[in-house]
Amino acid sequence: MRWVMLLAPLALLQADRTPDGFRVARPGHVFRFPEDHGNHPGFRTEWWYWTGHLQDEAGRAYGFQLTFFRQASPPSPWKGSAAWRSDELHLAHAALTDVAAGTFQFEERLDRGGLMAGAAPSGIQVFHGSWSAGADRLRFQVRGRSLELDVKALTPPVIFGEEGVSRKGSDPTAASHYVTYPKLQLAGQLRSAKGGATLVTGLGWMDHEWSSNQLDKDQVGWDWAGIQLHDGRSLMAYRLRKGDGSQDPWSSATLVDARGQVTARTRAFRMAPKGTWRSPRSGAAYPLPLEVSAFGETWILEPLVPDQELSADRPGGITYWEGACRVRDAAGVERGRAYVELTGYAHSLKGRF
């Protein structure tokens, strides 16, 4: 493995583009902000992703997810108005977990890029219909309930990976550029379907990732966790899974201190199930709770509501589990909050990204 890691950057330098013409994430990319918060149309896939833990004035807890996806087709000779171009699909997911009620609701939107959905070329400015996200504001609705949140980053952006590249496999195209704000201060209003408003505050997480291939040929999905510890540290970990269920050596974990500085990275960590939750809709069996062992510590991620599965109704849609969790140590003491994403259990993600 050591020699693989030493030779990998050279292999990546030899792969400027995928066979169908999309750019490949390469070492040495100089990140520039706000430009790199914007759209990267030369890459096949891109997403802007927010999650957060909220509570109202009565102490009632909520979780939310808001994700904007951009998926491009191979470059076309289109020369008409940019508002009507049809070589990009935009998908958006929004979800709301009401912990006290034990409910989870979500919505999905799918449109061609242009008038109904898009992203600015610079800065965090993405929208899909009435859903929108900027550097300092989120607005979206889920099944009649709406959230408007003011957002303030508490750390500088964190760049994951080595030499600006987050490698996902031995294939040199299986790589991304990956930028995160692991701690966002949130404050705003949650409105009910009848119009009543509740003040909410909390802590959020934002990811922005762009690539032209997210998975290697033997990988079927991933387990991802964004962990916010009460001591101020943050941990991002993803376990890339092979078809036989084993952990791919290209999986990664990164520890970030309270100031937003990366303090440690490793591929030698462990994610393992502490139980199983089976979906009554898809039949998928998800590894929940999930245990993460890295950097000499162990954390157990327990769902605040068991059923937080986003079930795709449309043909070709992606079904996965994405939800709010509490974080406990091995002794059972609560240490923080997390969001967990589990993909490839209802169906393989090969060829999707």
pLDDT in tens, 299-346: 999 999 999 999 877 666 789 999 999 999 999 999 999 999 999 998
Please give the Cα distance from 221 to 190 (Å, whole number): 33
Q: Assess whether pLDDT exceeds 50 at residue 5.
A: no
- Residue 54 tokens read as 């909220």
Fold entry, domain 1-213: AttH-like fold (2.40.370)
Q: What digits encode the pLDDT tens for the residues 79-124?
A: 555 555 557 899 999 999 999 999 999 999 999 888 899 999 999 9
Longest pairwise C-alpha distance within the chain? 62
Phi, psi (rounded to 5 degrees) for 190: -110, 120
Q: Assess whether pLDDT exceeds 90 at residue 349.
A: no
Residue the block writes with tokens 């031995």: 170
- In this prediction, residue 13 carries a pLDDT of 39
Helices (H) and strands (E) in the chain, counts: 1, 25
Please compute the mean of the pLDDT values over residues 186-214 and round it to a whole number.
93
- Residue 203 tokens read as 């802590």
- Residue 280 tokens read as 């009554």
Please give the Cα distance from 130 to 288 (Å, whole number): 33
Percent of the chain whose pLDDT exceeds 70: 89
Phi, psi (rounded to 5 degrees) for 9: -60, -35
Q: Please tell me the least confidently modeled range out of 60-74, 75-89, 208-222.
A: 75-89
Please compute the mean of the pLDDT values over residues 273-283 and round it to a whole number.
95
Question: Between 352 and 189, where is the model more confident?
Answer: 189
Q: Assess whether pLDDT exceeds 80 at residue 212.
A: yes
Q: How many residues does the chain have?
A: 353
Mean pLDDT computed over every residue of the chain: 89
With 0.85 as the threshold, say if the pTM is over it. Answer: yes
CATH for the stretch 215-353 = 2.40.370.10
Q: Are 236 and 182 in contact (CB under 8 A)?
A: yes
Question: What is the SS3 assignment for 266?
Answer: strand
Give start-end residues of each CATH 2.40.370.10 domain in the chain. 1-213, 215-353
Question: Between 193 and 262, where is the model more confident?
Answer: 262
- In this prediction, residue 6 carries a pLDDT of 27
Q: Please tell me the least confidently modeled range out of 17-21, 79-83, 182-186.
A: 79-83
Q: Are 241 and 224 in contact (CB under 8 A)?
A: no
